[in-house]
Amino acid sequence: MDRRAFLLASTATATCLVDQAVSATESTKKERAPLRTKIAVNPGWFTGSHVERIEQIAAHGFPAFETLSCGQWKDKEEVRARCQELGIQCGAVGGIATITDWGPVDPANHGRFVEQVKQAIANAQAIGSKRVLALSGPARQGVAREAQMEALVEAGRLVGPLLEEAGLAMVWECLNVLVDHPGYFLVRSAEGSELVRRTDHPAVKFLFDIYHQQISEGNLINNIKKYHAEIGHFHFADNPGRHEPGTGEINYQNVFKAIHETGYRDLVACEFGKTQPTEQILEILVECDQWT
C-alpha cells in the first residue's frame, strides 16, 4: 500500500472510531432514565452563544440551567423561546440587594429594594424564570437582630403582591459567615424558615444553599426535612472548597434522596467552581441522582 492509500485508510478508520464513540454516547444518553432531581447546570461550562449553550445542556439530558446574571443577558427573549422549544427551565435571577453593601435589613432601603425586585421580575419574565433571588444585606451593628428580622418581614410583604401578580417567587438566600461572607445577616436555615413563616405570603420562600448550610450548621438532611415547606430553591456545592460533589465531605446521593422524599420537585442548581472537564462533571451529577 502506498503512503497516500495508507493515510486515507487511517483517516477512514479514525473517523469510524469517532463516529462509533459519538453513537455510543448518544445511545447512553437515550437509555439513561430521566433525572429525578431537576439539576440546573451552569451554562458557563459550555461554549458558543447563550442559545447554543442551552442546546448543549438539553443534549446532555439536563432539564435546566442557572446563572444568577442571566437577567442581564441581551438575548433573553431568544433564550426563553429556545428553552420553551427544548423543555429547559431557567433557574433563579439575581440582582436584588447585596451581601456587604446594603440590604432590606434597614427599612431605609425598602424603596430601593422594591425597585430592584420590580427590575428582577421584568428580567425573569423576559428570560422565562419563575424565581428571583434576594439578599438580606449585612447585619446592622448596634441594632437588635429582631428589629432587622422584622425589617425583612416588612420588605417581603411589600413585594409579595408584585411577585404573586407576576406568577413568580422570591427566595431569600442564607449565606455562611464563617468562611465566605462575614457580616452577612441571614445565616441559618431556622432563620430563613422563620422569615418565610412570619412574612406569610406564598410568593416568598428561602433558598437552602447546601454548601453554605453545611458550613453554618451541618445537619443537612434533618434541616431540609424540617424546613421543606419554607424552602423555595436549592443551591449546591461540596465542602470544603466549593467544588463539584465528590471533592469534599457531603454525600450528595443521600442529600438528593432526602430532598426528593420531602416532595420537592423544583430546581436544584449547581453553584460551584469545577475542577474537572465538563463531561466528567455531568457524569458526577448523574451519579448523585442514582440513589436507591
Q: Residues 37-51: pLDDT tens digits?
A: 999 999 999 999 999
Q: Are residues 178 and 145 in the same domain?
A: yes
The predicted structure's pLDDT at residue 7:
37
- Among the residue ranges 22-36, 124-138, 210-224, 254-268, the one predicted with the least confidence is 22-36
The predicted structure's pLDDT at residue 98:
98
* CA 228/CA 258 separation, integer angstroms: 10
Q: Are residues 22 and 46 in the same domain?
A: no
Q: Report the SS3 class of residue 235.
A: strand
Segment 146-166 shows an average pLDDT of 98
Q: For residue 77, which amino acid is it?
A: E
Q: Are residues 6 and 115 in the same domain?
A: no
* CA 189/CA 220 separation, integer angstroms: 10
Q: Are residues 22 and 59 in the same domain?
A: no
- Tallying the residues shown for the chain, one arrives at 292
- 66, 230, 244, 271: which one is catalytic? 271
* CA 58/CA 56 separation, integer angstroms: 5
The predicted structure's pLDDT at residue 31:
63
Q: Are the CB atoms for 50 and 79 separated by under 8 Å?
A: yes
- 66, 173, 191, 230: which one is catalytic? 173
User: Is residue 14 over pLDDT 70?
Assistant: no
Q: Are residues 114 and 26 in the same domain?
A: no
User: Is residue 3 over pLDDT 60?
Assistant: no
Q: Are the CB atoms for 203 and 232 separated by under 8 Å?
A: no
Q: Are residues 3 and 144 in the same domain?
A: no
Query: Active site includes 271?
Result: yes
Q: Are residues 145 and 24 in the same domain?
A: no
The predicted structure's pLDDT at residue 84:
98
Q: Are residues 128 and 6 in the same domain?
A: no
Q: Residues 193-233: pLDDT tens digits?
A: 999 999 999 999 999 999 999 999 999 999 999 999 999 99
Is 102 buried (19+), middle (13-18) or exposed (0-12) by CB count in 10 A?
Answer: middle
Range of the domain at 6: 1-31
With the C-alpha atoms ordered 151, 157, 158, 160, is the resulting torsion angle positive or negative?
positive
Q: For residue 92, which amino acid is it?
A: A
Q: Are residues 277 and 132 in the same domain?
A: yes
Domain count, the chain: 2
State the Cα angle at 270 between 265 and 274, rounded to 5°: 155
Query: Active site includes 146?
Result: no
- The pTM of the whole model exceeds 0.95: no
Q: Are residues 12 and 121 in the same domain?
A: no
Q: Are residues 24 and 148 in the same domain?
A: no
> What is the domain-level CATH number for residue 184?
3.20.20.150
Is 246 buried (19+), middle (13-18) or exposed (0-12) by CB count in 10 A?
Answer: middle
When pLDDT is cut at 50, 70 and 90, the band that residue 18 belongs to is very low
Q: Report the SS3 class of residue 46.
A: coil
- Among the residue ranges 14-28, 35-49, 151-165, the one predicted with the least confidence is 14-28
Q: Are residues 7 and 107 in the same domain?
A: no
